Chain A
Amino acid sequence: MNNELMFFMLSAVILVFSVLTVTTRKILRAAVYLLFVLVATAGLYFQLNYNFLAAVQLTVYAGGIVVLIIFSILLTSHISERAPIASAARAALAALVTVAGAILTLITVMQFTFRPAGIPPISPNVKNVGRALVSYGTDGYALPFEAISILLLAAMIGAIVVARKESNNQSTK
């Protein structure tokens, strides 16, 4: 019962702050609201006994990424700047589509009878997670692990291409 109550509280936090993240007009506030969403998600992982995942969620997402986002906001934009107000028609349409989509998804999810997974769950402790991450057989994740490193490298280079100042060209001529 306690567990259930906790679940509803965490879900409420996630829902409320997710909506606030995308509706607030100040970008720094959006980043902070996102922090709450990520922390509450870590709470859900703790509930499922995914301690490792929850720790990663807290340190990488809530700790690292939100700080990065806040840094880049402070470096690039004026905090006092507010996002323009969307026109009423547009906001109404967006709300309509979102609510309709949510209701449709909810109904179909409720209708489906989920079966428990056939395979016995592997204990999600650090040892098993680490082993799965670098093993290459069945249930190993070495390939995605390596492929993601290519993605990250490319993303970094892409960020450099976008962020590089044009004036550098002239100075090195």
Chain B
Amino acid sequence: MRYLSILLVLAGASVMRGSDTPAAPPAGASGEDALFGDMPEVVAAALHPQTLAEAPASVTIVTASDIHKFGYRTLGDVLSAVRGFTLTSDHIYQYSGARGFAIPGDYNSLFLVMINGHPMTEIVFDSNNYFGQDFGLDLDLVERIEIIRGPSSALYGSNGVLANINIVTKSPVDSPKFAASTETDSLGLRKVQAMASVDLGKGVNLLVEGSGILDGGHDLVIPAYNTPAQNNGVANHLDGQSGYHSYADLTWGSWDFSAYFNTRLSRAPVLGEGATFDSQGQFYRDTRDFAGATYTHDFETSSQLQWQIYYDHYSYSDRYDEPAGIGIVDNRDEDWGDWITSQLIYRRQDPIGGLTLGVTGTVEFRNLQTNEDFSPDHTVYLDISHPDLSLAFFAQQEWSFAKNWTAYFGVRLDESRNFGGFVSPQTSVVYQPSARTSYKFVYGRPFRAPSSFEQYYAYPGTNVANLRLRPETAQALEFTVERHVAKSLDAVVNAYRYWLESVIEAVELPDGASQYQNVGTFHSTGVEFELHDHPSGWLDTTASFSLQRAGDAAGETLPNAPARIGKFRAAVPVWRDRVNFSAGFEYLSSRLTADRVAVRPVALVDATMSTSKLFRGVDFVAGIRNALNWAYADPVDVIDQIPANGRSVFVKLIWRQGE
């Protein structure tokens, strides 16, 4: 596999190496150059904070137009279509995988999901579960999604291991005066949404949005529970969810104020070992809120200051019904996190290149975990709070050390009261022999801090706390070649090697209880190919193929790590670009479950039809997912594997006014 990867990378590079013409000299300083020349669109870029990691990475941008024409309904739908990413569902949460890592039981903690540069990782479980309807930002609000592969801890700290996913929202001035939509699908989801953009005068603009979701649930057949006592494996009218999303954004000059409130309750058919199957009372509820302000100021030609302050809240609750004789024991977890983060970033252009300096401070007011039986007797098993204090300093220097060569040196020092300190360095080199080709090399040492749950959660006879947990660390190497091959054809080859050390895993103790310990060592190697073509200006196609291998120290393949991932999508506008047809295909090779059982490969076909200004202010999106009704299962944590949804259809009606 290793030699094949190297050969493929070299082959790909030689195919794409063509007659490079030198980059065009910089424009002169005449008035005509200014009059006839182009200028960067500052307003669009500056309306919301940009990701700090700008160029030296393999990046995919998904635009609002892509979201509409491909009918993406969740962030998980977006990642399913992106090179190298996988999506798994246990019908409670959706889990993304990249670089071969999609370990059941990991709550997306190796990703960093951000909204306008604000990290969404919560402080109790260190999770980024934002790939289904549990993500409170509806995709109609999204201007673009920046998917930056590779390490980013040198700028963002914990969780920036595999990829950084930054969602940039539309500004109030980019949004229609009023829009409403209703959506339904054949799995039972109903959703209504409304948004309004208001000019309050004196340059103050406000966007408010809210939506409600209700999914009454549908029957789910789970073979692992196929016994008469467990209703022959049929979970009746479960697999449902309900909740609300809301978002507000107010802009005023250089100030931006935003707020986000979101709750989702999932009625899960399976909650894990010990829980009652098919119990109508069991649930998971997640609430994630934030309110914050950002101020951006440009001092002179080449320096900028940005200050952000956010108040964040997270709460989680669940209910497990444990069989007890002829009845059940109603056991519940309830957790709360409240914290304030303030970040100051200074950027300037030095003679040798761009310099970024920053400091981030986080104060946790509450990091509370409880567990208690509600019935038949009220018993409290856990009631602990360990709020953290942390401070971080980071810096990145860009250095154009030779013609067409640029290096980036970054480092971040994190210091936390609860887990100690960590230094994350990162180096990138970019070589651009012409405007058509770029070569990028990245080395980083990212980390993931142990979560409060992993450190402190204790349940008599079942879980033991571990106050000596250390951060998970990684070493990441990435090499990317990007080439504008022809007029409308772009190609990318991306190769990587990851080493994950001190991986936190649940270890069974001699007395049968489990404890999180730093025991795991994982690695992954892979190469990805992508072609994007936009021939004739009307057909938009993207195809990608990934080869990867992820294993542990013993050489065993990691669970839920497909060796091959293939994706294809195409979109065609018809009838004066007002109607768009798109289709997508995703292939995953066979994956292993935690019990080393191989699940069937996945071959999913999707199709979508969308309209754009077809009727007066009214549009619709309709699509079919898993059109072939491909039956497959996902390796998950709650049980060894769980069937995925079959064929489904959805339709969404949108009404806009004042666009």
A associates with B: no
Task: Name A residues whose Cβ lies closer than 8 Å to a Cβ of B.
Answer: none
Task: Name B residues whose Cβ lies closer than 8 Å to a Cβ of A.
Answer: none
